[in-house]
Structure 1
Amino acid sequence: MYLNCHSYYSLRYGTIKPERLLAVASKNGIQTLALTDINTTSACLDFVRISSKYKIKPILGVDFRSGAKQHFILIAKNNNGFYNINQFLSVFLHNADLKIPNEAPVLEDTFVIYPYEHDKLYSLRTNEFVGIKPHDLNKLKFSKWNIFRSKLVILQTVSFENKKGYNIHRLLRAIDNNSLLSKLPKSEQGQETDIMLPYDELCKTYQEFPELLKNTKSLLDDCFIEFDFSQETPSNQRTFTSNEDSDYGLLEKLTYEGIAYRYQNPDKTIYKRIEKELQIIKEKSFVSYFLINWHVLVYARSKGYFYVGRGSGANSIVAYLLRITDVDPIELDLYFERFINLFRKNPPDFDIDFSWTDRDDITQFIFNNFKNTALLTVYNTFKFRASVRELGKVFGLPKAEIDILVRGKYDIKNLDKLSQLVIKYSAYIQGFPNYLGIHASGIIISEKPIHYYTATFIPPKGFPTTQFDMVVAEDIGLYKFDILSQRGLGKIKDTLKVIKYNYPKKIPIDIHDIKQFKRDKRIKYLLRNAKAIGCFYVESPAMRMLLKKLQVDNYLGLVAASSVIRPGVAKSGMMREYILRYRYPERRKDAHSVLLNIMPETFGVMVYQEDVIKVAHLFGGLTLGEADRLRRGMSGKFRSRDEFLIVKQQFFNNCKNSGKPEKLTAEIWRQIESFAGYAFAKGHSASYAVESYQCLFLKAYFPLEYMVATINNFGGFYRTELYVHEARIHGGIIEPPCINKSFDVTVIYDKTIYLGFMFLQSLESKTIKKIITERQKNGMYKSLDDFIERIAISVEQISILIKINAFRFTGVNKRELLWEAHLKISKTLPEEHTATLFQTNRINYKTPELPSTSLENAFDEMELLGFPLCSPFKLLAKPQGSPLRAKELVWYKNKIVTIEGYLITRKNTLTKNKEAMHFGTFLDYDGDFIDTVHFPPVATKFPFRGPGVYKITGKVIEEFDCVNIEVISMYKLAVIEDPRYTDVSKAVEV
């Protein structure tokens, strides 16, 4: 009898989770329920999927509203009606300027319900009704509509469960209206009575109007919606060539043609693997999925785009031969069943990384070439701190009080009543959907129109986007195509361009010659000594230390390290155990014999997602299908679902029945559970390692060009400053931007690197464009006067260029140039420079001699670039006190030392007791790394105080050839007084 129910996907209005709505309905004896969220179909498919659990017949529709004002409700008679409703709703979601009309359109297979308004004239079609709310019943007795009861239905809206839900609803409405709760208009709220009544009570409310009960029941009986959640057949685009047989023929042909590119001497193992994979791909109806990915990547290569295919798709030799991935599954012994198996109902998943500059074009290509395409949404939810801030404003708290609540610096018992309410209700709305965003990479290509499943909206990216997320998409058999962006690939692509112009006679590099890279001695040296700054995935402090501990110098070792570094392995305590077993073979006997037999390559330590499947199958006695379900459950997406909990229990039951010790079973389960979505598929790690090798090759042979590309792609793990430092370490001569040499990006001439104009803070892009365009058209600038004659520029913009010493080619001191610029440039800047027949004779003012120093340059660089180009140690107020260097720390093991270091980065983390601690990374005077550990007491007493040089005192700890300092005390050292604001005569040179 309920035709108008809202879940909390009625954003900032409803307050009930979809499953809770069904549970409440079941408790109240409701057998049929219509979900009609406000202007969205986000929850519809999940609502249908869950409804059978509560023995409720699901009906779908949409409540069309402007704010809180209800225009009409559309209810789907069947799937076609739901499709029509989604199409209609999407028109408004695609165009914000369109207003929802007061009258519903004529849509096939739908019912329309208008909210009753006393004395309003309704011209109703056959499928249209007027909804009567309980408080309308008395008015109805005296309305002319009382004699037209055949067109009336029950309209008991459900937006919340109880009084608490109503209070939450009002707060959400106040947030949505950016209003104080006390100022929230009644017209922007629902009624306190918008709750679900027991079936008998609802019938009793309308007992004087039996026709309404009959009409409502008849309408609901006429509705039937059904979706297939079995995943037996994928819902993606079924064919690539429009025929399944020709699809398979094409896939088979492309696969065998790819052998020559990948293998010089293919053996029986390869052909047997191909045959097996093709058969499973065909049987599981995934042929078109492979061909669509292949087609997209053929286009990518035709455009010269670099990409990496990763994820479990790297377990497929067919994907390898189609050049979707660059990982050889035969070499790594990757079993295909991790990607696709006959037991597995969920879809396969290719993750394709592109350069951040190329990804949008790839996305556009997919939308242009495939009909039923959409991006996937993500539900951005209310986070606790953000909720505190929003509700603080709703309750009218001053900003200072809100800031205290957000930081958590309070005792709840000492807060006033309003502040306590903010904390209380922030906890209630935490996790509620707040707004719809875009999935980082997911695109779906459906066989049926997208609106068969969902309405779509248009986010800023400009592509139609579903209103459900990837979990719901997978439930319905729509597996996504993951098109991701990554700066690492941009670095590789740009490095090759830089090499081409800096070494024009150089033979082109085959960056995909991974087999050669694996044998390269220079790369082995960089890996073994962790000299990988700038290289994808292997440059972070944690990875740098892990590489040192493992002394990795080969591909398989790097593949393992790429997964061992993940938090799941570290959390389980198995990272340390893996290092011990890797370095000291005698430790391998400590592994349980069953686990060592299952995972000999990783010495009995679970490192990859595949290891979880192996252990669950061979140790826990689960079938491959159950084991893979367990592995998927680790991601957290399905952790709360009953099927995952059932598999978990089955694991323990099997172990008990096979006589395994309870303590051992619990420990193995703890290791499995600690992965909790952090473990990598082995193929994923292998894909990352391939890209790491490409970066390592470029750094080994072209370090300066690689650093230039890294700088231009805005670095990686670290700030730009460290990559500039790294270039200097490799012999680069670093120059600030120059009017005659620089471009928007950083460039290199032989070994001299000129930083790009785009790194100058506040320098406008239009100014940069004018400078470069004019220089390319009419030649180098000869002087400041020549520059001013040719470029229309403001005093503010030219001051930036002068301060960074971009006119140093003139030989004139920059303080004098600043005076000249202010005297010669008009305060009012013309829009464009106007060329004249005769050159204007400028008055040459006699400026005073105003010398500047290198120290002044350094402070200008810090202001405009964010860092100085000289050593930061030269800017200390007092000369360096400690002569100790990072490379000497190994001689002071277990001793207390003092050393000075320039802060590069820090990692904040929490101990098991939820106390804050840090890991620091510094550079010493020679440019070598100092790694520090700051335990909670020290972290509290000696906090980081921003960028700068610190005096660090602590105990030297060495483990597995990796040296750290356990900090005892740390002070930031003072820098000299800014010479730009001091007496010039007292300034000194660096």
Structure 2
Amino acid sequence: MILNSHSYYSLRYGTIKPIELLFLANKGGYRTFVLTDINNTTACLEFMRLAPKHNIRPLIGVDFRNGAKQEFVMIAKSNIGFQNINTYLSSFLHHNNYEIPNKADELEDVFTIYPFEKYYGNTLKQNEYWGVKTSDLNTIKLLRFQGDTSKLVILNTVSFIDKKGFNTHRLLRAIDNNTLLSKLSVSETGSEDHKFISKEQLLKVYQDYPCLIENTQRLLDSCNVVFDFSGQIPNNQSSYTNNQVLDYKLLKKLTYEGLKYRYEVVNNKILDRIDKELKIIKEKSFVSYFLINWKILKYARSKGYFYVGRGSGANSIVAYLLRITDVDPIELDLYFERFINLYRTNPPDFDLDFSHRDRDDITKFIFKTFKNTALIAVYNTFKYKASVRELGKVFGLPKSEIDILSSGRYNYQTLDKLSQLVIKYSKYIEGFPNYLGIHAGGIIISEKSIHYYTATFMPPKGFPTTQFDMVVAEDIGLYKFDILSQRGLGKIKEAVEIVKYNHPDKKAIDIHDIKRFKQDARIKYLLKNAKAIGCFYVESPAMRMLLKKLQVDNYLGLVAASSVIRPGVSKSGMMREYILRYRYPNRRKEAHPFLLNIMPDTYGVMVYQEDVIKVAHFFGGLNLGEADMLRRGMSGKFRSREEFLKVKEQFFINCKTSGKDEALTKEIWRQIESFAGYAFAKGHSASYAVESYQSLFLKAYYPLEYMVATLNNGGGFYSRELYIHEARMNGAIIQAPCVNKSFGQAVIYDKDIYIGFLFLQSFESKNSKSIIEERLKNGEFKSLDDFIDRVPISMEQVAILIKINAFRFTRINKRELLWEAYTKINNITFEEHRITLFKAERINYKTPELPSTKLEDAFDELELLGYPLCNPFKLLLKPLKMILRANKLPQFVNYVIEVVGYLVTTKRTTTLNGKSMYFGTFLDYYGDFIDTVHFPPIASKFPFRGKGIYKIKGKVLEEFDCINIEVVEMHRLAIIEDPRYSDIETNQKAS
């Protein structure tokens, strides 16, 4: 009887979760219930999946509105009707941003219901009705309605549960309209009677109008929309060649052709693995999925794009032979059942990483090549602090009060009533969907039209995007292709290009020669000594320390380290245990024999996702179907689902039945649970390790070129300043931007690295382009006058160049240059220079002597780059006297010492009791790392105070050859006063 209900996916309008709506429907006595969210179909499939569990026959449609004004409601009579609604909604509203019309188009298998308040007669089509709300009943009675009563149906709207829901609805509408609650127009909200009522109450309201009840029931009975949520039927594009037999022949052909490229010697182990994989890929109907990935990457190679294929698909030899991945599952003995098994309903994951410069073209290629294609949405939800700010504005609170409320530093009991309401409702709407965004890289390629499942919207990227997320997509059998962007690949590609340009006499680098890299002595040295700054996945402080602790110098060790560092292993305490067993073979005897037998390579410690599956299967007695459910649960997407909880229950039942020790069972499950959302498949880690080796090779042999590429591709874990420091540590001479040498990005000449114009804060990219084009066309600039004549640029922008010393080739003091520039440039908007027959001579005024100093340069660099190009220790107010070097710390283990360090980065974490502690990374005067630990009492008493140089007092600790300082006291040291604003005489003395 309910034809118009809204979940909280009626964004900034509805207040009820889809599952709550179903619970209410069941409790209220309904057996059929219609979900019609406003202008979207986001919740439709989830509503349909959950409905049978609540004994509800679900129907779906859309409430079409202009703002809050209802124009009509469309309800799908069948799946075709739902597709037509999605197509209509998408093309009309979400792709072209048209206003919803007063009169709907006639769509096949779709019922259209107009609100009775718009009644203008009986000129309705066969599929159209007038929807009578409770507020319309008196009108019908008074008018003694003489129209066609067969065209009248009940249109009782449900948008909230109770008074609190209505209040929440009004707040959401105020947020949506960006207005104060007190100024919110009544026309922008629903009616207070749009609360949920039971079927008994509804029938009682309409009891005097049995024809409305009958018409509504007849409409409901004629609707039937059905989707298969069993997961047994993949709905991705079913065939690559439009013939599944030809698909399989092509896959087989490509697989065997790949043997020559990948293997020098082909043995039976390889051939048996191929045969096993091909059979199961065919049986599970994943052939086209492999071929589509192959097609995408074939295109990428034709364009010279670097890529990495990772994910669980990296466990596949077929993927390896098709060049989807670069991981050899035979060499690594990758667990076949992690990649694919007969119980697995979804295809293996292939995460395809590209440089950010190449990814958009790959996406365009996919949309151009494959028919039914869409990006996947994500739900951006209301976060608590943001909700406090939004509601604070709605209630009209001053900014100062909003700041206090959002900081959490208040006593709730002492707050005034409005502030308490802000806190109360912020907690209530926390987690509500706010707007739809785009998944980082998920693309679906469907056999049927995308609109068969969902409406689409058109974000700025210009590609149709679903209105549901990846979890709903998987529920309906649509499995995404992940096309991701990654800085590391851009660094590698650019570094190879720079080396090729700078060293034309040398043999071209084969960056894919991983076999050679695995044996390279220089790479082994960098790994073992954790000298991998700038290198993919192995440069962070945590990874740097782990590499030292493990003393990794080989590929398999790095593969393990890539997974051990993940939170699942480290938080469970198994990272420390793995290190102990890695370093001390006798320790391995302490492993449980059963676990050691399952995981000999990791000494009985669960490190990879497949280890968890093995333990669940062999130790916990779960079949591969249940173990696959566990695998999905580990992704973090399904943990709250009852399927995952059933697997947990079955694990404990099986262990008890087989006589396993209860304490051991609980401990094993604790370790399994710690992996949820954080585990890596071994093949995934191996893919990361391949890219790490590529970057390590470049760092080992071409460190300066590699650092330039790192700077030009957005850096990595650290800020740009550290990569400039690292280049200097490797022998580079760092040069400030120069109008005659620099380009937009950093560039290298022998050992001189010139910082790019685009690194300058507030410097416009159009000016960078103008300078480079003019210099390449007409030669280097001879003077400031020459520059001003040839480049159209404002005084403000020239001032930036002068302050950063970009005219130092003139050998004129930059203060004098600034004076000169001010006399010669009008501070106006510049147009392109016009070519004139005669060059007018500029008037040269005599400039006064205005000396500048190195210290002034450093402060200009701080302002324009964010960091000085000199040693930052030279800016201290009080010069350092005795300095303890970082490389001497091993001599002072267990002693309390004092060191001075320049802050690089911090990491905050929480203790078991919820208190904040920190890990710090500093550089000493000579550029070596100092690592610190700040436990909660110290972190609170001596907090980090931003960027700068700190005097640190603490105890030197050593664990597995890794040095840390447990801080007991820390103070940031003062730097000199900015010399640019002190008197000239003082500056002259400083110079």
The yes-or-no answer on 1:820 pairing with 2:820 is yes
The yes-or-no answer on 1:197 pairing with 2:197 is yes
Q: Distance in 2 between matches of 1:540 and 1:589?
A: 32
Q: Distance in 1 between matches of 2:812 and 2:957?
A: 52
Q: Distance in 2 between matches of 1:145 and 1:975?
A: 85
Q: Distance in 2 between matches of 1:396 and 1:828?
A: 41
User: Alignment identity in percent?
Assistant: 71
- SS of 1:258's equivalent in the other structure is helix
The answer as to whether partners of 1:33 and 1:57 remain within 8 angstroms in 2 is: yes
Corresponding position of 1:701: 701
Q: Distance in 1 between matches of 2:348 and 2:557?
A: 27
Q: Distance in 2 between matches of 1:461 and 1:792?
A: 33
2:907 maps to amino acid? K
Corresponding position of 1:280: 280
The yes-or-no answer on 1:13 pairing with 2:8 is no
- SS of 1:437's equivalent in the other structure is strand
Deviation at 1:348, TM superposition (A): 2.1
Output the TM-score relative to the length of structure 2. 0.99
Q: Distance in 1 between matches of 2:141 and 2:530?
A: 84
Corresponding position of 2:577: 577
Corresponding position of 1:211: 211
Corresponding position of 1:437: 437
Corresponding position of 1:679: 679
CA deviations on 1:485-519 (whole Å, 9 max, x unpaired) are 00000000110111112112221111011111000
- SS of 1:358's equivalent in the other structure is helix
- SS of 1:2's equivalent in the other structure is coil
Corresponding position of 1:252: 252
Deviation at 1:165, TM superposition (A): 1.4
Structure 1 pair 223–710 and aligned structure 2 pair: CA distance change class (3 A):
same
Q: Distance in 1 between matches of 2:31 and 2:938?
A: 62
- SS of 1:117's equivalent in the other structure is helix
Q: How does 1:38-117 map to 2 (within 5 A)?
A: 38-95=38-95, 97-117=97-117
The yes-or-no answer on 1:941 pairing with 2:941 is yes
Q: Distance in 1 between matches of 2:826 and 2:31?
A: 79
Once the two structures are overlaid, the 10-residue window that deviates more, 437-446 or 634-643, is: 634-643
Corresponding position of 1:344: 344
Q: Distance in 1 between matches of 2:182 and 2:120?
A: 32
Q: How does 1:259-274 map to 2 (within 5 A)?
A: 259-274=259-274
Structure 1 pair 31–798 and aligned structure 2 pair: CA distance change class (3 A):
same
- SS of 2:357's equivalent in the other structure is coil
Q: Distance in 2 between matches of 1:944 and 1:881?
A: 24
Q: Distance in 2 between matches of 1:870 and 1:201?
A: 78
The answer as to whether partners of 1:882 and 1:899 remain within 8 angstroms in 2 is: no
The answer as to whether partners of 2:747 and 2:753 remain within 8 angstroms in 1 is: yes
- SS of 1:141's equivalent in the other structure is helix
The answer as to whether partners of 1:347 and 1:474 remain within 8 angstroms in 2 is: no
- SS of 1:899's equivalent in the other structure is strand
Once the two structures are overlaid, the 10-residue window that deviates more, 627-636 or 113-122, is: 113-122
Deviation at 1:182, TM superposition (A): 1.7
Corresponding position of 1:466: 466
Q: How does 1:112-151 map to 2 (within 5 A)?
A: 112-117=112-117, 120-121=120-121, 123-143=123-143, 145-151=145-151
Once the two structures are overlaid, the 10-residue window that deviates more, 156-165 or 731-740, is: 156-165
- SS of 2:861's equivalent in the other structure is helix
1:563 maps to amino acid? S
Q: Distance in 2 between matches of 1:915 and 1:882?
A: 35
The answer as to whether partners of 2:441 and 2:482 remain within 8 angstroms in 1 is: yes
Q: Distance in 2 between matches of 1:272 and 1:329?
A: 13
CA deviations on 1:338-365 (whole Å, 9 max, x unpaired) are 1221011133211000001111110000
The answer as to whether partners of 2:93 and 2:99 remain within 8 angstroms in 1 is: no
Return 5+ residue gaps in structure 1 as ranges.
none
Corresponding position of 2:356: 356
Deviation at 1:123, TM superposition (A): 2.2
Deviation at 1:909, TM superposition (A): 1.3
Q: Distance in 2 between matches of 1:641 and 1:769?
A: 54
1:20 maps to amino acid? E
Q: Distance in 2 between matches of 1:435 and 1:92?
A: 19
Deviation at 1:699, TM superposition (A): 0.2
The answer as to whether partners of 2:705 and 2:748 remain within 8 angstroms in 1 is: yes
Once the two structures are overlaid, the 10-residue window that deviates more, 611-620 or 979-988, is: 979-988
CA deviations on 1:187-244 (whole Å, 9 max, x unpaired) are 1111121122222221121111100000000000000001111222210111111110
The yes-or-no answer on 1:646 pairing with 2:646 is yes
Corresponding position of 1:26: 26
The answer as to whether partners of 1:118 and 1:139 remain within 8 angstroms in 2 is: no
Deviation at 1:336, TM superposition (A): 2.4
Corresponding position of 1:724: 724
The yes-or-no answer on 1:596 pairing with 2:596 is yes
- SS of 2:261's equivalent in the other structure is helix
- SS of 2:103's equivalent in the other structure is coil
Return 5+ residue gaps in structure 2 as ranges.
none
Once the two structures are overlaid, the 10-residue window that deviates more, 908-917 or 371-380, is: 908-917
Q: Distance in 2 between matches of 1:735 and 1:92?
A: 55
Structure 1 pair 439–93 and aligned structure 2 pair: CA distance change class (3 A):
farther
Deviation at 1:335, TM superposition (A): 2.0
Q: Distance in 1 between matches of 2:912 and 2:650?
A: 30
Corresponding position of 2:367: 367
Q: Distance in 2 between matches of 1:5 and 1:791?
A: 63
Deviation at 1:844, TM superposition (A): 1.6
- SS of 2:939's equivalent in the other structure is helix
Once the two structures are overlaid, the 10-residue window that deviates more, 821-830 or 544-553, is: 821-830
Corresponding position of 1:387: 387
2:775 maps to amino acid? R
The answer as to whether partners of 1:73 and 1:114 remain within 8 angstroms in 2 is: yes
Deviation at 1:683, TM superposition (A): 0.8
Structure 1 segments, 4+ long, off by >4 Å, are none
- SS of 1:357's equivalent in the other structure is helix
Deviation at 1:122, TM superposition (A): 5.2
The yes-or-no answer on 1:297 pairing with 2:297 is yes
Deviation at 1:146, TM superposition (A): 4.4
The answer as to whether partners of 1:113 and 1:129 remain within 8 angstroms in 2 is: yes
1:811 maps to amino acid? R
Q: Distance in 2 between matches of 1:450 and 1:292?
A: 17
Q: Distance in 2 between matches of 1:628 and 1:830?
A: 65
The answer as to whether partners of 1:7 and 1:18 remain within 8 angstroms in 2 is: yes
1:411 maps to amino acid? N
CA deviations on 1:42-74 (whole Å, 9 max, x unpaired) are 011111111111121111100001111100000
Q: Distance in 2 between matches of 1:662 and 1:282?
A: 42
Q: Distance in 2 between matches of 1:574 and 1:413?
A: 44
- SS of 2:561's equivalent in the other structure is helix
The yes-or-no answer on 1:743 pairing with 2:743 is yes
CA deviations on 1:353-385 (whole Å, 9 max, x unpaired) are 000111111000000010100000001111111
Once the two structures are overlaid, the 10-residue window that deviates more, 793-802 or 144-153, is: 144-153
Corresponding position of 1:185: 185
Once the two structures are overlaid, the 10-residue window that deviates more, 633-642 or 282-291, is: 633-642
Q: Distance in 1 between matches of 2:93 and 2:453?
A: 16
Q: Distance in 2 between matches of 1:17 and 1:401?
A: 31
Corresponding position of 1:711: 711
1:245 maps to amino acid? V
Corresponding position of 1:926: 926
The answer as to whether partners of 2:119 and 2:130 remain within 8 angstroms in 1 is: no
Once the two structures are overlaid, the 10-residue window that deviates more, 381-390 or 90-99, is: 90-99
The answer as to whether partners of 1:93 and 1:456 remain within 8 angstroms in 2 is: no
Output the TM-score relative to the length of structure 1. 0.99
Deviation at 1:989, TM superposition (A): 4.9
Deviation at 1:96, TM superposition (A): 5.3
Q: Distance in 2 between matches of 1:800 and 1:138?
A: 74
CA deviations on 1:699-730 (whole Å, 9 max, x unpaired) are 00000000000001121000100000100111
Once the two structures are overlaid, the 10-residue window that deviates more, 685-694 or 939-948, is: 939-948
Corresponding position of 2:170: 170
Q: Distance in 2 between matches of 1:548 and 1:147?
A: 85
Corresponding position of 2:482: 482
The yes-or-no answer on 1:911 pairing with 2:905 is no
Q: Distance in 1 between matches of 2:118 and 2:604?
A: 75
